[in-house]
Amino acid sequence: MNPTRVLLVDDHALVRAGIRALISMIDGVEVVGEAGSGDEALSLVETLQPDLVLLDITMPGMSGLTALSEIRVRFPKVRVIMLTMHEAREYAVQALHGGAAGFIPKRAAATELMQAIETVMRGKTYVSHEIAQEDVSATEAAAHYHELLDKLTPRQREILILIAEGKSMKQIGRALNISVKTVESHRAQLTERLDIHDIAGLVRFAIRMGLIKVE
């Protein structure tokens, strides 16, 4: 059988080196390339045509979730396992909702990485045992958050993102070419739909949903 061809994507060279070392111990799997950003990853997926991408969820520039979305649209046959320092279920749900075939923390052992690769290459979904053992209420909460997000109009999403980025009502109005009164109206509607009535809560929600980048 031909080996499973893997592309590593992480903005930290040491992390990539560690994962490459783990993969070197797995029979039938080989690393064919490395990328340090989402943009570079998309270019290499097109060039190298890997079977599998191990993709960091948090990177400067294009986030892993955005890169995941692009890969799923442009290269639907390529499987993607998300790697992250974030072990909360909400990140797993968000990644899987976006089309990831698997989700494991970066500190996963070689045996789990091997199991994850074998599972997704059989066409199934793999979620880390650590994540799977967490309180199921976190999953229910994540599903609820996605339902809330789906209730927002495109304009309300725009305003939510700008609020979460720290923009004032006047700045948002200028950015969207609408009046402050209209901005305030949209904000009132989105806070009502989300049932979140403070700026900090809106920022947390936007981060949780991957609407803004976490530096």
Q: Splitting the chain (215 residues) into consecutive groups of 10 residues, what average pLDDT does each group show? A: 91 91 90 94 95 90 87 92 71 76 82 89 82 50 72 90 90 94 93 88 83 67
Q: How far apart are CA 31 and CA 8, in angstroms?
A: 7
Residue 63 near residue 213 (C-beta atoms within 8 A) = yes
Q: Give the pLDDT confidence score for residue 136 in this predicted structure.
A: 39
Given a contact cutoff of 8 angstroms between Cβ atoms, the answer to whether 82 and 57 are in contact is yes
Q: How far apart are CA 91 and CA 48, in angstroms?
A: 28
**Residue 71 · residue 95 · CB < 8 Å:** no
Residue 132 CA, chain-centre distance (Å), reads 18
Report all structural domains of the chain as residue ranges with CATH numbers, in order of start: 4-132 (3.40.50.2300), 151-208 (1.10.10.10)
Q: What was the pLDDT predicted at 213?
A: 65
> What is the pLDDT, as a whole number, of residue 33?
96
